[in-house]
Chains A and B, each alone.
Chain A
Amino acid sequence: MNFDLLTQGEPLAFIFAFLIGLSMLLYAILDGYDLGVGMLSTIVDDADRDRMIASIGPFWDANETWLVLGVGLLLVAFPAAHGIVLTSLYFPVAIMLFGLIFRGVSFDFRRKVPLKRQAAWNRNFFIGSLVVALSQGYMVGRFMVGFKEGLFGQLFACFFGLLVVAGYLLMGACWLILKAEGPLQKRAVGWARIAIWAMVVGAILSSLTAPFVDTRIYDRMFSFPEITLLLAMPVISIMLTLFMHFILKKLPMENDRLAWMPLAISIAIFVLGFLGLVYSFYPYIIPGQLLIAEAAAAPESLKVILIGTAIVFPFLIGYTALAYWIFKGKASDLSYD
């Protein structure tokens, strides 16, 4: 491969590409667990639903902000790429936004409307979460194949949508294993066991479809010497999946031991998956169309943002950690009404 592509151009462009990637990864992990909880909230009774939603109540809004940051940085640092992505995905973006709207307001409406309408808002909360997860997965799928049309292009994106839904369900279930107790925690273990294998199915289906769309991804993966390094990734993923399967069989343990473990494993799976995903199109900012180095905005503006980011980031991490510390432990008693 052409290594010049990796390094030429403005270093700021690559720093911003990294920051965008980091925001998107954090978004997928963080909003992933609360969207997962949202999708799971439809199969429980009212009391459990309240507990589940209480466990994400203090966090969901900040989680969603990572998406705004990621898309915002893309807009700022790579305006041309932002334009191509969002106009190509006009309807999926709109559908995701409708989902985000309904889900976001349902947190409040479900408790702030007369009793007879609460069920409707609970349903909106579930549907909103599902629509967001599906549309995000579909969009990542479309993006990965460079928005190629055709049956397999669409099929790949749909399978990827299912993969993301399964991934978010896994995240949500693992979050609940950590934050819930008693019967709800036991059920969450069961949900996680289904979700992990659903994820495997989604991954296999999309991997099988990918070569019909575009051989570029496979050329990339199976050329020498990258393959030696890359082989490690699926091997670790498979090991993590098996380890997760094994751990879930043992949970919940006495004194709530290792309740954090499934969440840690699913985060590791997300990170690995994300790295693999990025590897398949780097150094492009839009697969097959636009290089990172070609698309960046003016350096003086990027510098200003970078300085701000460097100053704000430690605070941001600090108070986010503080919030998780304040709300550590089981989430059963969280409410404000």
Chain B
Amino acid sequence: MDAFLLSRLQFAANISFHILFPTITIALGWLLLFFKLRFARSRDPKWMELYFYFTKVFALTFSLGVVTGVTMSFQFGTNWPGYMNTVGNIAGPLLAYEVLTAFFLEATFLGVMLYGFRRVPGWFHTLATFLVAGGTTFSAFWIVALDSWMQTPAGYTMIDGVAHAESWWAIVMNPSMPYRITHTLLSSGLTVAFLAAGLLAYRQLKGDTRPAVKSGLSCCLVLAFVLAPLQAIVGDFHGTNTRDHQPAKLAAMEALWETTEGAPLTLFALPDEDARENHFEVGIPKLGSLIATRDLNGKILGLNEFEGLHPPVAPVFWSFRVMVGVGTLMIAVASIGTYFLARRGGQPKWFLKVLLRMTFSGWVATLAGWYVTEIGRQPWLVYGVLKTEDAVADLPPSHVGITLTAYLIIYLALGVAYVGSLFYLARKAMEEAPQQIPA
């Protein structure tokens, strides 16, 4: 394999593993704040029990997010120097603002949040929790702004092959930013709702009858019930944005080779890039055009309009279907759960098992979604500005091969340890008496 492919694989491995953790901490911070505020209002200790339990999950997840994120910040220099050389004037300030406004804030106040409970007044501890949640969200804002700019660049001029900023407002609020940040934050909310629901369902299945577990589970189900349909709507609008700004990506998502008016919604197909056609295609007539253009006979540009400049079709096509499939499943499960909650005030055992199986469904949907958008951007690194192959460092393939292998082994070990610890913490929380809260 050549250094280009290996560097891409390494970046994909790094960022795929990294995103698993921020996508949890972003929303989990706000969930912790919610528990804290519920306690402040009701003085019911169950909310603090939930707060303390999920604080441990938060701390573990946060530390994995930090260390994998530090790795990312070095990757630009070690493997992709062409990226900063070409668009560093845009990417640099966005990354710097992330460090300055988010990283220090969340790191410092996480210390206060974890270790300061008995050292600071209650209101200050709540404030620290708020600042941690705000910090993680700020961080998401800057990094999604940069990613969106790479998808739909705006507010810049090219001088001698280097991008220079013209309008920072236009750069940050580039055409796909509002859709992407909403979609990303909602996916974090859903990931956390199902993660927390899964862990609490696990505790109930193991015989934990504490009120905290039941209340926590109810909160998560209601949260999922609200967010899952909302996410479908936001995702749909995000799709029309892609149609306008990245038609090649939309064509790959639908595996549509020829420009078509009244395109079908393809449910199943095996895209064949050599023959430039699909095998075993099953679709619903005209529905694709209706969704993407709001018109039964609307025109969708096909892949053949972008020959040589469109992404690999099959990975984008399938990732998109995985994301939508998991999203649909989430809507169904959240609806059933909320129904049980409303009618019976609790969940039957079989449904708890379903929730347990859905614990990491948010990860699957999140990764699939990122693959759609990032593989869908290829062959561009910055859409229409810089090709991925022109940014890679000239490294010996063996160098990249060695580090990639090491990363994969470490990530596998850490992933297993992380999931194992989540369930171990759940069992441990059942055995221990709830932490005493000072009056």
Question: Could you list which residues of chain A lie within 8 angstroms of chain B, going by C-beta atoms?
Answer: 54, 57-59, 61-62, 64-65, 67-69, 71-73, 75-77, 79-80, 82-83, 85-87, 90-91, 93-94, 97-98, 100-102, 104-105, 107-109, 112-114, 297-298, 300-301, 304-305, 308-309, 312, 316, 319-320, 323, 326-327, 334-337
Chain B residues in 8 Å Cβ range of A327: 111, 115-116, 119
Tell me which residues from 417 to 439 in chain B have a Cβ below 8 Å from any Cβ of chain A.
Answer: 417, 420-421, 424-425
Q: How far is the CA of A327 from the CA of B120 in the complex (A)?
A: 10
Give min CB distance, A8 to chain B, whole Å. Answer: 22
Assuming the contacts A76-B93, A101-B67, A298-B164, asked whether A58 and B393 have C-beta atoms less than 8 A apart, the reply is no
A sample of 25 inter-chain contacts (CB < 8 A) reads A58-B112, A61-B66, A62-B107, A65-B103, A65-B107, A68-B99, A68-B103, A71-B77, A79-B81, A83-B85, A83-B393, A86-B78, A90-B395, A98-B406, A100-B67, A101-B68, A101-B414, A104-B70, A112-B424, A113-B417, A114-B424, A312-B100, A323-B111, A336-B56, A336-B117
Question: Is chain B's interface secondary structure helix, strand, loop, or mixed overall?
Answer: helix
Q: How far is the CA of A97 from the CA of B76 in the complex (A)?
A: 14
Which of B70, B73, B112, B393 has the largest count of A CB atoms less than 10 A from its CB?
B70
Chain A residues in 8 Å Cβ range of B95: 72, 75-76
Assuming the contacts A65-B104, A301-B90, asked whether A83 and B77 have C-beta atoms less than 8 A apart, the reply is yes
Assign chain B's interface to a size class: 35 or more
**Looking across the interface, which residue of chain B has its beta carbon closest to that of A112?**
B421
Are B88 and A75 within 8 A (Cβ)?
A: yes
Assuming the contacts A112-B56, A336-B115, asked whether A301 and B165 have C-beta atoms less than 8 A apart, the reply is yes
Question: Could you list which residues of chain B lie within 8 angstroms of chain A, going by C-beta atoms?
Answer: 52, 55-56, 59-60, 62-64, 66-71, 73-74, 76-78, 81, 84-85, 88-90, 92-93, 95-97, 99-101, 103-105, 107-112, 114-117, 119-120, 162, 164-165, 168, 393, 395, 399, 402-403, 406, 410, 414, 417, 420-421, 424-425
Assuming the contacts A65-B99, A107-B63, A300-B165, asked whether A87 and B112 have C-beta atoms less than 8 A apart, the reply is no
Are B165 and A308 within 8 A (Cβ)?
A: no
Give min CB distance, A327 to chain B, whole Å. Answer: 7
Chain A residues in 8 Å Cβ range of B96: 72-73, 76, 305, 308-309
Q: How far is the CA of A270 from the CA of B110 in the complex (A)?
A: 28
Q: How far is the CA of A65 from the CA of B107 in the complex (A)?
A: 8
Q: How far is the CA of A313 from the CA of B103 in the complex (A)?
A: 13
Q: How far is the CA of A82 from the CA of B80 in the complex (A)?
A: 11
Q: How far is the CA of A323 from the CA of B165 in the complex (A)?
A: 37
Are B56 and A58 within 8 A (Cβ)?
A: no
**Looking across the interface, which residue of chain B has its beta carbon closest to that of A57?**
B115
Q: How far is the CA of A132 from the CA of B406 in the complex (A)?
A: 16
**Looking across the interface, which residue of chain B has its beta carbon closest to that of A319?**
B108
Question: Is chain A's interface secondary structure helix, strand, loop, or mixed overall?
Answer: helix
Q: How far is the CA of A71 from the CA of B84 in the complex (A)?
A: 13
**Looking across the interface, which residue of chain A has its beta carbon closest to that of B411?**
A101
Chain B residues in 8 Å Cβ range of A113: 417, 420-421, 424
Give min CB distance, B386 to chain A, whole Å. Answer: 13
Chain A residues in 8 Å Cβ range of B76: 75, 82
Q: How far is the CA of A97 from the CA of B411 in the complex (A)?
A: 13
Assuming the contacts A69-B99, A297-B92, asked whether A93 and B81 have C-beta atoms less than 8 A apart, the reply is no
Q: How far is the CA of A86 from the CA of B99 in the complex (A)?
A: 19
Option from B89, B105, B111 in Cβ contact (under 8 Å) with A297:
B89
Q: How far is the CA of A112 from the CA of B421 in the complex (A)?
A: 6
Are A64 and B66 within 8 A (Cβ)?
A: yes
Chain A residues in 8 Å Cβ range of B81: 79, 82-83, 86-87
**Looking across the interface, which residue of chain B has its beta carbon closest to that of A114?**
B424
**Looking across the interface, which residue of chain B has its beta carbon closest to that of A59?**
B111
Q: How far is the CA of A40 from the CA of B63 in the complex (A)?
A: 21
Option from A79, A90, A102, A109 in Cβ contact (under 8 Å) with B85:
A79
Chain B residues in 8 Å Cβ range of A100: 67, 70-71
Chain B residues in 8 Å Cβ range of A97: 70-71, 74
Q: How far is the CA of A59 from the CA of B115 in the complex (A)?
A: 10
Are A312 and B165 within 8 A (Cβ)?
A: no
Assuming the contacts A64-B66, A73-B96, A76-B93, asked whether A91 and B399 have C-beta atoms less than 8 A apart, the reply is yes
Name 5 extra pairs, CB < 8 A, besides A54-B115, A104-B67: A71-B74, A105-B63, A107-B63, A304-B168, A336-B59
Are A316 and B73 within 8 A (Cβ)?
A: no
Give min CB distance, B92 to chain A, whole Å. Answer: 3
Give min CB distance, B238 to chain A, whole Å. Answer: 28
**Looking across the interface, which residue of chain B has its beta carbon closest to that of A329?**
B119
Chain A residues in 8 Å Cβ range of B164: 298, 300-301
Are A87 and B111 within 8 A (Cβ)?
A: no
Give min CB distance, B95 to chain A, whole Å. Answer: 6
Chain A residues in 8 Å Cβ range of B420: 113
Chain B residues in 8 Å Cβ range of A320: 104, 108
Assuming the contacts A62-B104, A101-B68, asked whether A326 and B112 have C-beta atoms less than 8 A apart, the reply is yes
**Looking across the interface, which residue of chain B has its beta carbon closest to that of A54?**
B115
Option from B63, B77, B425 in Cβ contact (under 8 Å) with A82:
B77
Chain B residues in 8 Å Cβ range of A87: 77-78, 81, 393, 395
Q: How far is the CA of A200 from the CA of B76 in the complex (A)?
A: 36
Q: How far is the CA of A316 from the CA of B60 in the complex (A)?
A: 24
Are A72 and B73 within 8 A (Cβ)?
A: yes
Option from B63, B99, B108, B119 in Cβ contact (under 8 Å) with A104:
B63
**Looking across the interface, which residue of chain A has its beta carbon closest to that of B432?**
A337
Are A309 and B104 within 8 A (Cβ)?
A: no
Are A326 and B120 within 8 A (Cβ)?
A: yes
Assuming the contacts A83-B84, A112-B60, A323-B112, asked whether A308 and B93 have C-beta atoms less than 8 A apart, the reply is yes
Option from B414, B424, B425 in Cβ contact (under 8 Å) with A105:
B414
Are A308 and B70 within 8 A (Cβ)?
A: no
Q: How far is the CA of A80 from the CA of B82 in the complex (A)?
A: 9
**Looking across the interface, which residue of chain B has its beta carbon closest to that of A113?**
B421
Chain B residues in 8 Å Cβ range of A93: 74, 78
Give min CB distance, B381 to chain A, whole Å. Answer: 15
Query: Considering the complex of A and B, which 9 residue pairs feature the smallest CB-CB distances, nearest first?
Result: A58-B111, A76-B92, A86-B77, A83-B81, A104-B67, A62-B107, A61-B107, A79-B84, A301-B89
